[in-house]
Structure 1
Amino acid sequence: MIHGYIYTFTYRKEEASLFQMEMRSLFNSVNTSIILKSNEDVNPSRSPFIKERIDIMFEGDDLEEIIVQAEQMNLHDSTFKVRFVKYKDVKIGYDERLAIERKVGWSINGEADVRNPDQVFGIVLLNDRWYFGKYEKNEAEWLKHMKKPHTFSTALSTRVARAVANIAVPHPEGVRVIDPCCGIGTVLVEALSMGIDITGRDINSRVVYGSRKNIAYFGFEAEVTLGPISDITEKYDVTIIDLPYNLYTHVTLDEQFDIIKHARRISKKAVFITIETIDDMLEEAGFEIQDRCEARKANFSRQILSCI
């Protein structure tokens, strides 16, 4: 039986704002630490910032309590490995961590295999309490998606796109999503890889072609249509829009406002990515900003706004 989860995180300094907004969305938490105990069941490979997860099986005030409970485990023919989960606030040296892994491992009725185990268990010390459970690491799917056959210079990074998808759709079941300015499909690919029901659209036939090819390249399926957002008649739960930038396109502020107004018309919720402050336009279109952050890369900065 699982008694909650422990997550560890890793992020770069310039990603702190984006990390914290994703935390608020996925975990409903304002935690800024690199470790979190939560009852929320989030696949660790969903987030670009989750490093690993322990599914808590048992806990104790000291290591001996963990060992006593581990002695009740019987893995039969299954092989296993015990891994000490280290993070920067834990002041336990390498030799001691290795000794803890061995001590707990010896107490489990099963065959240890450090190279290719059937199961991996994690043990961690958090706030002077020990936790033990099934261990799962992040598979970093977004890294594979960096190698797209079609690219675009102004596209979001796969890390930012994945975080945006999580902010927009923390609970994908039954949620219909559209990206009506999808470009070459960076957000589409990340969303589809997490099981989000999303469709794409763009007014540029060249990028629509590239988006379809990118989606197929990674083995996903989604509808990507050609045309403006104004022609959309269906309703969606969420719209994700990386607004066209004046810096790179001939889109005017009036045209951006038109996109925002149609996003309000077709969806209950919208997440906007913009290089400009658009608060006034959002308010005029009838949106209320629920949360926001800034995603930085070198001297370039984007605002991400979650609106209802």
Structure 2
Amino acid sequence: MKFVLLISGENEALAFSEIKSVAAIFDPAAKIRKRKRLILLSSGLIGEGKAIQMQARLAFTRSTGLLLFSCSRKLLNKKIEIFDWASVYSSSFSVRIKGISGKESRIALLERRIGGKIFDILQAKGIKPRVRLEFPKTEIEFFFLGNTAFCAKIIAVQKEDFEVRAPRYRPGFSPVSMSPKLCRCMVNLSGAAAGKKIFDPFCGTGGILIEAGLMGLKIEGSDIDAEMIGKCRKNLKFFKLSARISVADASKISGRKDYVVCDLPYGVSSYLSEKKKFLYPKFTRALSSHLGERAVLCIKKGEDEQLIKKGFKELKIIKSFSYYIHKSMTKKIIVIE
């Protein structure tokens, strides 16, 4: 089946890689292409049900639609006339247009024109169509990219309210916690399927573990700061999540850790057990010995990147992304195998 995914504009490279990582869980052979903010996914194993599951996991994807057809703008009217709208219509419908610049009134006029054509086609087939602009059963979207038009039936949208899980609303607060949306994206970049375990050796107040747990993954975390561990336990309890949590040194990892996802402390407001020039290489040396599948690390862009690499043995960076936080802070998300 073919799907169209619309990503947010916050960080397109990160959003695209997140989709590829999650799609590979369901179908490693899925074909994925990026056309600006539109992602085209083709898979023999991913049906509507799995595509909906994917959307539920994704942090930087706004919607997922079943691709009905694509064509040049010149042929759009003909495509609309010959497409079997009865095969996708259910109860009520709406038409939305995206990718066209100009006044809202012009876009609304085009939506009404296309919607009117679909209405007439359905009516000619003996159906009594109902237009419903809010919460329609059948949501049709047209995406325009250059000279190409893509038509999709929206099957899932971003429903996560990440703001309600923002650090300031958790009972165990820390000013250095990452945003829930970025935490979720990092977990997805690991490629861990539901039921697998995510380990965070710098768990702090538990932001990454919360998102992983809410996605159905098993979670384990540690931190050298006992106060942070106390706050982490309080937050996990608040979100009704269970995990193995302990006070431990991240440079002394023991046992195989298939998926490691963490935000390394950088020492401005966060607690460091020792200077970064010693801690970071010690941690990555330990990671080299115990990593099973994949690690996703968040570090401060710049000199921290070189400190991380000092401890590498057989580890290899396979992906790297810059993520802007504010004018004096840009983070680097690196994916390691």
Given the superposition, is the C-alpha separation of residues 111 and 162 from structure 1 closer, same or farther in structure 2, using an over 3 Å criterion?
same
* CA displacement, residues 59-84 of structure 1 (integer Å, 9 cap, x when unaligned): 66534434543344386xx5332232
Among candidates 134, 140, 153, match of residue 122 of structure 1 = 140
Q: 2:9 aligns with which of 8, 11, 15?
A: 11
Distance in 2 (alpha carbons) for counterparts of 1:289 and 1:47: 22
**TM-score normalised to structure 2 length:** 0.76
Q: Could you say if the C-alpha distance between residues 6 and 259 of structure 1 is closer, same or farther in structure 2, counting changes exceeding 3 Å?
A: same
Cross-structure match for 1:261: 285
163, 171, 175: which one aligns with 1:153: 175
Number of the residue aligned with 1:38: 41
Letter in 1 for 2:163: L
Q: RMSD between aligned alpha carbons?
A: 3.1
So what's the TM-score if we normalise by structure 1? 0.83
Q: 1:282 corresponds to which residue?
A: 309
State the distance in 2 between where 1:209 and 1:201 align.
Answer: 11
Structure 1 position 134, deviation (Å): 3.7
Distance (Å, rounded) in 1 between the aligned partners of 2:185 and 2:79: 38
Corresponding residue for residue 165 of structure 1: 187
- Distance in 2 between the 1:213 and 1:104 partners? 53
Separation in structure 2 between the aligned mates of residue 206 and residue 247 of structure 1, nearest angstrom? 17
* Range that drifts further, 257-266 or 107-116: 107-116
Larger RCO of the pair (alpha carbons < 8 Å, separation 6+) = 1
1:255–1:161: structure 2 CA closer, same or farther, 3 Å change rule?
same
Instruction: Measure the CA separation in 1 of the matches of 2:97 and 2:60.
Output: 16
259-268 or 81-90: bigger deviation: 81-90
Q: 1:138 to 1:279 in 2, by over 3 A?
A: same
Cα distance in 1, alignment partners of residues 100 and 211 from structure 2: 30
Once the two structures are TM-superposed, the CA of residue 203 in structure 1 deviates from its matched residue by 2.0
Residues 84-117 of structure 1 show CA distances to partners (whole Å, capped at 9, x for unaligned) of: 2413569962111133234324544465362665
Q: Retained in 2: the 8 A contact 1:160–1:295?
A: no
1:87 counterpart (84, 90, 99): 99
- C-alpha displacement at 1:119, in angstroms? 2.2
Cα distance in 2 for residues equivalent to 1:131 and 1:207: 49
Contact 2:281 2:311 survives alignment (8 Å): no
- Kindly tell me: are residues 86 and 152 of structure 1, through their superposed partners in 2, closer, same or farther at Cα, counting changes over 3 Å? same
Q: Which structure has the highest helix share of the two?
A: 2
Which is worse superposed, 35-44 or 16-25? Answer: 16-25
Tell me how far 1:183 sits from its aligned partner.
0.5
- Percent identical: 16
| Range that drifts further, 137-146 or 107-116 | 107-116
User: Does structure 1 residue 305 correspond to structure 2 residue 311?
Assistant: no
Aligned residue-pair number: 301
Which 5+ residue runs of structure 1 have no aligned equivalent? none
The yes-or-no answer on 1:293 pairing with 2:291 is no
1:229 and 1:200 map into 2 onto residues whose CA distance is 10
> Counterpart of 2:34 in 1: which secondary structure?
coil
Of 178, 181, 185, 2:206 maps to: 185
1:273 aligns with 2:295: no
Equivalent in the alignment of 2:158: 138
* Cα distance change on mapping 1:223 and 1:122 into 2, 3 Å: farther
